[in-house]
Structure 1
């Protein structure tokens, strides 16, 4: 069932077994795991079924660290969450991403890759991707084209990396109908959680306060709560829920909001293939992203990475290098304008609704945009201008890189967010050495060269540095409450019935592509919650009626 929260009677009380806050990939995955079962589930989404600028504006905040995108552009506040502005790239974390590495500060997960493997496999169906296979040679054999063959690197130095491409799955559109038909899962739209109530010693959440922009207000009371609102909004809600606990919830050790991570990327490099026709089809994102390289009904994309051995030897973070073809008109402003237009037209971005901004950007660069669009669509040789090398590296989890509450408040009275994004010297070293090592290996085997364009250690970050909108680490997972906000089962330390889903629990972020790990962790969390209800004595064989138990203010007061 899906209900517009603006139609609820004032001060209604909604009772359920489980309350999931946030209807993005994590929240919808969780809700689906309980669909058709005996547990009553409420799913709260701050936006509607489609983009709305008024809802999106609640994400506005302040950047005080490294130059970063406007915070209301990097997320999507409507049903489906950040899957609405996701590119679709999928690949599990690497085995060494889970390990403690002495050169990566605060690294190490409380479990290894083996713990998530069964959930990664299940995530493939949810993300609408192919077989659980990431071996480059296997995919090369399946594709079976002479113009789609991998460069034969020394695997002790450079690796060919394969990711699978989801359509991309827009969770709201794909799974909304099943939730609408559900008898035990009820989603409330335009339902903005403004506070999480945990009176007394703070060990138990007793309810959440919910408001709509139209003025309606109600409360949800459940036995178990899951906060699944992303790496910025999750710490914001925990810190803002300070009525009974001045430092916020889960913040006994001042960790909520710290260790904020996003994958930094630099697009300034250049790669020159000795034979572009031999390699561009399998590496060029402008070919692979639209589906130009596919097998077994699945689009794939290929990138370059460094081996775990050389990462350890040179004390580097994990990394990926992407290749994109360039054409006449491929000026940063024209490319940005074309990207804005594409996102606005394809229901895939928080930029929809900003038609004036998009049209002005396109108009300012119209000749270049037109030529660039022709090049990208038809790829004529006379417009080709080589290949850009885009490098994305693993961010260090640094305690001073953080999400905080700002000075102002939004229309619902919740403090605005302030983000201080920071990076370490390891990232600079990784950017530069990745490009240098890749270039040396290409030259060694006669496959090409790389023009290195990355800062040296001690040099300032270039203006072209930006993030990937992957907000991670702000409620990090650790067995020790002095080093993490949630325990290995994603339960908030010191709290009995509050869990967190999403990339905010990542201790480290790997080299890229967090969505498949977000979904895998949500599947794992659903099993933990089911086990908790079974242990508590709830008879899980007895079905229950639909969740919405609405009561008047007078009945609630009595």
Structure 2
């Protein structure tokens, strides 16, 4: 699956003698920045904490996924990835990957733009915060990001913000169960529309069209789903250097405290190295971005690097899941594909509750017949009868609900627990407000109404008391105009240090209820343009 990264693997992990830009992390944010800058002629070094995974093993990984009792496909867990939580338990390792490509290796691939209201929540509603940019500022970068990722979609969403051009690829057609939902939604006056997906509906950018394996999460064997490996490869072709198994321990600044001088990283041989550069970009994800800055404390920055505002680690947000499902007395053909083709933004801008709600019409519900067969204790005709009884009539809806920023939801360093390099592990304090729970209840009400109109017997509901995160970690290095209240400016450059940028969902002042990766990509491309101008 991955190079072992051990002593003797033959890889040179010593620092580059000259670097214009050092990027920490090779997920979508870091990969896009690295490629854009390398393509413009900059000397770029990327430091990645995890391994480089072997694409030729994706089919084998898929087979491992459907077998019972297999370990995590992406090697998460153990002292390297340890963490602690308080308040509502936050299962951090359930949906993150350390390695070249980051979380895009196992993401679901839905990519929609934030709505215009998401950038001005304080102005409109007196809630949350305003972004230092508005939708129009990010609009051209959204289009750029859609081209880079290869987004399949249709201009059929009446609630979406304005666009400047069609999607690069045509949308995936609605599934059979989408057509069942459509009949009930039409009777209820509820609009359905397509979902933009970062997977190829036709060959694009050297990657094949979707083959319909149905295991998009956790692994796409065909390569049709976008992963940041694509832009890592492009960055390397343009001259960038990527060092894997190189977890950055801290960033060091000069005597004045105005610029970062080096990223100190560890290698499997037990040594530490200092990579110097003219510019630095932190792109480690919503939790690790904050943790690295906190680990980089100094006499000048006793509360963590770039943290004179005290906002580093605070305002941690995620999206909450709301869902309901059951059975119909007819075939639903669920588990047909492993991604969502239809959704509803109709209730996103509802005045009550203010939190955004995005509804999803799931193409998968109930047990997979393959996985159920592998776990079964019966054989032959008995097993076949069991599968016929359990498979094919399930139907379900999902949804994402917005969580507004709260300074008490935060990422700090655990003073007692250490990782494999002796550093404090991240500690996540997370809780839900009653306003957020009200929004989840609202989502459940609409979901139940649709399922009941469909004639389904509702068997389960994920509501306010049972909800969990969508694993979209946001807000911990928020952007803003006031250095006393934010960590980075509108270009993602830190207020405190002139040569340090932070990119990714950690810079979001609010999170809306849209999957964040397209916004991550758009902001990263915008930051790369700003950074290039500074070189």
Counterpart of 1:322 in structure 2 is: 360
Counterpart of 1:302 in structure 2 is: 342
Q: Mind listing any 5+ residue stretches in structure 1 that lack a counterpart?
A: 291-299, 342-360, 456-460, 534-558
TM-score, normalised relative to structure 1? 0.73
Q: Mind listing any 5+ residue stretches in structure 2 that lack a counterpart?
A: 54-72, 160-165, 200-223
What do you get for the CA RMSD once the two structures are aligned? 4.0
| Cα shift readout 1:230-259 (whole Å, capped 9, x = no counterpart) | 000000000010133220112112110011
Instruction: Measure, in 2, the Cα distance between the counterparts of 1:450 and 1:122.
Output: 44
CA contact (8 A) 2:23 2:34 kept: yes
Counterpart of 2:400 in structure 1 is: 392
Structure (1 or 2) with the greater helix fraction: 1
Please point out which of 35, 45, 53 is paired with 1:42: 45
CA contact (8 A) 2:76 2:98 kept: no
TM-score, normalised relative to structure 2? 0.76
The answer to whether 1:100 aligns with 2:117 is no
The answer to whether 1:289 aligns with 2:330 is no
Please point out which of 499, 507, 510 is paired with 1:508: 510
Give the deviation of 1:476 after TM superposition.
0.9
Instruction: Measure, in 2, the Cα distance between the counterparts of 1:319 and 1:121.
Output: 24
Give the deviation of 1:325 after TM superposition.
6.5
CA contact (8 A) 2:188 2:450 kept: no
Instruction: Measure, in 1, the Cα distance between the counterparts of 2:380 and 2:469.
Output: 27
Counterpart of 1:358 in structure 2 is: none
CA contact (8 A) 1:192 1:212 kept: yes
Give the deviation of 1:84 after TM superposition.
1.3
Instruction: Measure, in 1, the Cα distance between the counterparts of 2:313 and 2:503.
Output: 15
Counterpart of 1:174 in structure 2 is: 230
The answer to whether 1:430 aligns with 2:439 is yes
Name the CA shift for 1:13/1:302 in 2 (closer, same or farther; >3 Å).
closer
Give the deviation of 1:120 after TM superposition.
1.5
- How do residues 207-246 of structure 1 correspond to structure 2 at under 5 angstroms? 207-244=262-299, 245-246=301-302
CA contact (8 A) 1:191 1:212 kept: yes
Counterpart of 1:270 in structure 2 is: 325
Instruction: Measure, in 2, the Cα distance between the counterparts of 1:517 and 1:47.
Output: 24
Name the CA shift for 1:382/1:72 in 2 (closer, same or farther; >3 Å).
closer
Instruction: Measure, in 1, the Cα distance between the counterparts of 2:135 and 2:348.
Output: 15
CA contact (8 A) 1:127 1:169 kept: no
Counterpart of 1:353 in structure 2 is: none
Give the deviation of 1:449 after TM superposition.
7.4
- How do residues 59-78 of structure 1 correspond to structure 2 at under 5 angstroms? 59-69=81-91, 71-78=92-99
Name the CA shift for 1:161/1:67 in 2 (closer, same or farther; >3 Å).
farther
| Cα shift readout 1:80-132 (whole Å, capped 9, x = no counterpart) | 11111211111111222222256573232222222222111122232232357
Name the CA shift for 1:259/1:366 in 2 (closer, same or farther; >3 Å).
farther
The answer to whether 1:251 aligns with 2:310 is no
SS of structure 2 residue aligned to 1:35? helix
Instruction: Measure, in 2, the Cα distance between the counterparts of 1:207 and 1:306.
Output: 48
| Cα shift readout 1:346-396 (whole Å, capped 9, x = no counterpart) | xxxxxxxxxxxxxxx998x5359999x9999xx968734442332320111
| Cα shift readout 1:177-235 (whole Å, capped 9, x = no counterpart) | 4344333x111111111011124342211111111132132111111111000000000
CA contact (8 A) 1:208 1:220 kept: yes
Instruction: Measure, in 2, the Cα distance between the counterparts of 1:525 and 1:252.
Output: 22
The structure showing larger relative contact order (alpha-carbon pairs under 8 Å, at least 6 residues apart) is 1
SS of structure 1 residue aligned to 2:195? strand
Instruction: Measure, in 1, the Cα distance between the counterparts of 2:228 and 2:84.
Output: 28
CA contact (8 A) 1:20 1:225 kept: yes
Instruction: Measure, in 1, the Cα distance between the counterparts of 2:194 and 2:108.
Output: 15
